[in-house]
Chains A and B, each alone.
Chain A
């Protein structure tokens, strides 16, 4: 391997890693706030790419129908749980958040489609269509078992992923898509050509993680999310509703996943089931950060991207085997690191 090839591989790895980093940060966000290891984030990323591709092709994406179905389901469940607990007075609010808002988003996207909007608007539309999915899934799938063990939540999360892959095929079809690059610029750095798309990916990753940092440190909502992550009961006593914090976390997380989907779509061909590997690799990155640290997750995800890039140079068939085998030593290291603190907590 010459240094040229190594440089190309490194740049490629960093770009892929930056995409994983966005998803990884979302995964950590959800885990700390709700204790759910949300495997389907990769699917959200893939669905965004597919949505954008459909918009580019002037077709109304299947995401619209998916959101409508999920919204109806979520509303139904919300109403049933309200009837059971005798809190029907909250009905208008539920209808607004679980039915009207998602439907409005779909309706808006449908209207905007008629006007043949430019690329920038299509990007916004794709993100708008994708963001309601995770919060609605949260209401339907995870809210009823919010008090369950991490393992139960994980099992449900894995099952949910399989359901989403099936829905993906149903709503988007089996064809893979590759969207047009967001920029055709390119630059040369130390003799290596770097495409504008690569730079865009890295910049977007930095910008969005920076925004998240500002959100957590300088807004009250951000702080309430952090409080929920540290102690659910304690923050509930301070008037923070964990369910609401969870919804916000899912919204933010799926926004991050959506951005990563838009960024990866021009680089890799995305299929309805591409999300699983994106999600799992991001997840490997998140584990490097111990599932609690955002910078740790981002660094871990970039590490996974680099590893994958170099591994695929050595053996493209076995790159996934290598990445997942490497997860085991990482898990052992993390478990040892956290075991120590566990024992001290027991005192």
Chain B
């Protein structure tokens, strides 16, 4: 299957949707309208939950804010629904931005709980504010008109709703395939990697959160002007969980899953309403909720993955063309060989009473490979984390390329030209090799949200793709750039991390135990690669455990023991140093 096939399938789907009103009954069209309106919220949730990893129970509140805003503007104050759209979207995005700034730094389930909290609080607000009709709601909301043509009947507003859904899907998929979209997809799985690539994780989360709220506000606007009446009911906590359910049923990571999920849930609900009374006579609407919640629980127990990813497994894979040569991305001014690049001066880091790093000083000169070694618990990893900004030193100073970085955030240090790899490999297993390496180019590229959604970024994208392919070829992984990173063996995953780091065009490459867990052949290959990088004048700092690996490779070694620097020198000198032998082998008998 090629790109053309996908485009043809999408066009066929659009044709079917456009012709549907000729075939379907008015009732079915109304049902379709609801599906479209719910889809918008579910697509937003797919971005937020499936892509960004932020589970929100509160989207219904955003739908409600927009619906009430437009009802207030059009029904209560007599202005055009289009003004209501502007007002509703602005209001929803503003509320989302404020909530996001306050809550998005929360971790894991704390964040989701906060969405329950504000979802409930906003939901209660609708029913209790005097000017918004309390529990009676607001009625006689005018229909949307285009020019003099009012969209009164359900088959008229149908085209507006599904036009918006189609546009949102197109823009959404464009966005996911852009610089910003890759950053969003990298959010799932922890901030450490994201920050180490020079990406401000909090900003990306905020953008994702506001986009999801924006889609919810579109849905709220359409809902208010389609049903022409609103009350607090459809925006309460119950609806919030229903939206979440739609996106999970469809397949949380997939935008199309939002539409499929909305359709499945809406149709299912409709048929439950039709058939339940036949099974249990006299049972009220509440049995619906029971049946429905039970189905959702069963679904979460047995098929967490969702419908679209399940079906996609059986479809032929999309064939992609190898990236074409493109103008190179701008490179940073590299330091002159031999110049001092990194200087650590009297660094100290404490954890409570434990001094993990104690008054350590050393320098890295441009163009050399320096290793920091030491026995278990010597403070190597702590030192490493202080260098890359994952931890702060309590005392001392760190200067990189003539600029103090002692108190800088990880992402700033990364932008300054320090690229790192991880002891426990941190890749995005569901992204391709090429995309993983392209993440490394984030700090070297510029295009933003709109450029990504409207594909105005193609020149830069082509350059970034080409750069990523070149780095893959440089490390020897250029054969299958579209393979998923999760399918690689550990050795190649480490190499892939190095390619990602190289794509950032670093001045200093920092490797955290790169040989850990590798087989002998893999170690030899890794050493070969690092030598070739040194030949290209790249400066490398290695924190390593494996003596054999280090001794044959590096120019100089710094030995740590119990948090303090033991000695420093060329490999041969270190090997014959008695203090080092004692630290590694115990006292000389």
Contacts and interface: CB of A to CB of B under 8 A. Distances in A.
A170 B294 CA distance: 15
A317 to B, nearest CB: 4
A138 to B, nearest CB: 13
Interface in A40-98: none
B324 interface: no
A160 B294 CA distance: 7
Contact of A331 (B57, B113, B301): B113
A162 interface: yes
A173 to B, nearest CB: 10
Contacts of B116: 158, 280
A325 B121 contact: yes
Interface in A146-178: 150-152, 154-156, 158-160, 162-163, 165-167, 169-170
A342 B109 CA distance: 14
17 contacts: A37-B113, A151-B112, A154-B109, A154-B113, A156-B297, A156-B301, A159-B300, A162-B292, A163-B293, A163-B297, A320-B120, A320-B124, A324-B124, A327-B113, A328-B118, A342-B107, A347-B385
B333 interface: no
Contacts of B372: none
B110 A165 contact: no
B118 A338 contact: no
Contacts of A320: 120-121, 124
B288 interface: yes
A280 B284 CA distance: 26
A347 B351 contact: yes
Interface in B140-173: none
B351 A331 contact: no
Contacts of A325: 117-118, 121
Contact of B286 (A169, A287, A334, A347): A169
B304 A141 contact: no
- Centre residue among B117, B241, B356, B385 by max chain A CB count within 10 A: B117
Given A145-B301, A158-B241, A162-B292, 6 more contacts: A154-B113, A160-B297, A284-B117, A321-B128, A331-B110, A334-B110
Contacts of B382: 347
A343 B385 CA distance: 11
A163 B121 contact: no
B112 A154 contact: yes
Interface string B86-108: 00000000000000001101111
Contact of B106 (A152, A169, A284, A332): A332
B103 A158 contact: no
Given A162-B238, A328-B117, A331-B113, A321 B293 contact: no
A160 B304 contact: no
Contact of B301 (A144, A162, A166): A144
B293 A166 contact: yes
A268 interface: no
Contacts, number: 122
A339 interface: yes
Contact of B110 (A145, A335, A343, A344): A335
Nearest to B106: A335
Contact of A165 (B286, B294, B301): B286
B61 to A, nearest CB: 11
B104 to A, nearest CB: 10
B6 interface: no
Interface of B: 55, 57, 102-103, 105-114, 116-118, 120-121, 124-125, 128, 238, 241, 244-245, 248, 283-284, 286-290, 292-294, 296-297, 300-301, 304, 351, 356, 381-382, 385, 391
Contacts of B385: 347
B293 A159 contact: yes
A320 to B, nearest CB: 5
B114 A331 contact: yes
A318 interface: yes
A145 B289 contact: no
Interface in A290-328: 317-318, 320-321, 324-325, 327-328
Contacts of A156: 297, 300-301
A343 B118 CA distance: 28
Contact of A335 (B57, B107, B286): B107
A243 to B, nearest CB: 16
B84 to A, nearest CB: 24
A339 to B, nearest CB: 6
Interface in A17-41: 37
Nearest to B130: A317
B110 A162 contact: no
Given A163-B289, A344-B351, A317 B109 contact: no
Contact of B300 (A150, A155, A284, A327): A155
A170 B124 contact: no
A141 B297 contact: yes
Contacts of A169: 284, 286
Contacts of A343: 391
Contacts of B113: 37, 154, 287, 327, 331
Given A287-B113, A327-B117, A335-B110, A163 B128 contact: no
B290 A338 contact: no
B298 to A, nearest CB: 10
Contacts of B112: 151, 154
A152 B300 contact: yes
B241 A162 contact: yes
Contact of A324 (B102, B117, B301): B117
A144 B303 CA distance: 12
A328 B125 contact: no
B429 to A, nearest CB: 17
Contacts of A344: 351
Report the 8 A-B pairs with minimum CB-CB distance, sorted nearest first.
A163-B293, A166-B290, A166-B289, A327-B117, A324-B121, A169-B286, A317-B128, A166-B286
Contact of B290 (A167, A321, A347): A167
A170 B117 contact: no
A152 B287 contact: no
A332 B118 contact: no
Contact of A170 (B102, B103, B118, B290): B290
A151 B283 CA distance: 33
A144 B304 CA distance: 13
B56 to A, nearest CB: 11
B103 A331 contact: yes
Contacts of B238: 162
Given A166-B289, A317-B128, A332-B102, A152 B283 contact: no
B296 A159 contact: yes
A165 B103 contact: no
A228 to B, nearest CB: 19
A287 B110 CA distance: 9
Contacts of B290: 163, 166-167, 170
A166 B289 CA distance: 6
Contacts of B301: 141, 144-145, 156
Nearest to B288: A166
Given A167-B290, A321-B128, A332-B102, A150 B109 contact: yes
Contacts of B351: 344, 347
Contacts of B124: 318, 320-321, 324
Contacts of A335: 105-107, 110-111
A287 B111 CA distance: 12
Contacts of A338: 107, 110
